[in-house]
């Protein structure tokens, strides 16, 4: 009788553990994009956002035909472009661990569909100095990905 009760308890614990692991550990994957047309160029970015529970696990940029980072012109210099490229991975990692609600609360003001460099409120993200339009596009793409999260 003790063996039977022990077997039932072990089976019950195994089922409970498996159910808990599948409910908590499986990442949901969402894709989104943000783009707009400006001065003859289609600017934008596509992203994949992985969410576990209510927390962001990762944000990855997907291939697209959009211009993610434009060539240097006027105030957008080669140095600023390189700064963005050098810090993009760190910016993407700064989403990790944030809750979906936190990320949805980030604000990006737009002017004629383009992110306004002075209109981003995103406490806790590592915005890239001098590349706020690119950061704004990424935040808006992540917002769009999380619409159904």
Domain boundary assignment for the chain:
27-148
- Give the dihedral of Cα atoms 109, 113, 114, 119; nearest 10 deg: -10
Give the global pTM: 0.81
Indicate the class that CATH gives domain 27-148.
alpha beta
CB count, 10 Å around CB of 72? 13
Given a cut of 80, whether residue 18 has pLDDT beyond it is no
pLDDT in tens, 73-106: 878 899 999 999 999 999 999 999 999 999 999 9
Contacts of 72 (CB under 8 A, 6+ apart): 78, 80, 81
> Which CA distances in Å does 103 have to 49, 69, 109, 141?
11, 22, 15, 11
């Amino acid at each position: 009788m003790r063996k039977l009760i022990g077997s039932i308890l072990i089976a019950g614990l195994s089922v409970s553990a498996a159910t808990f692991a599948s409910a908590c550990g499986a990442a949901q994957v969402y894709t989104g994009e943000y783009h707009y047309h400006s001065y003859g160029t289609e600017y934008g970015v596509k992203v994949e956002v992985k969410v576990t529970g209510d927390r962001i696990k990762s944000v990855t940029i997907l291939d697209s035909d959009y211009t993610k980072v434009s060539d240097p012109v006027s105030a957008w210099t080669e140095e600023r472009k390189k700064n963005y490229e050098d810090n993009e991975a760190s910016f993407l990692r700064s989403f990790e661990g944030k809750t979906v609600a936190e990320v949805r609360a980030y604000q990006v003001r737009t002017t004629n569909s383009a992110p306004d460099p002075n209109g981003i409120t995103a406490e806790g993200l590592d915005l890239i100095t001098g590349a706020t339009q690119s950061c704004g596009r990424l935040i808006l793409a992540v917002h769009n990905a999380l619409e159904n999260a």
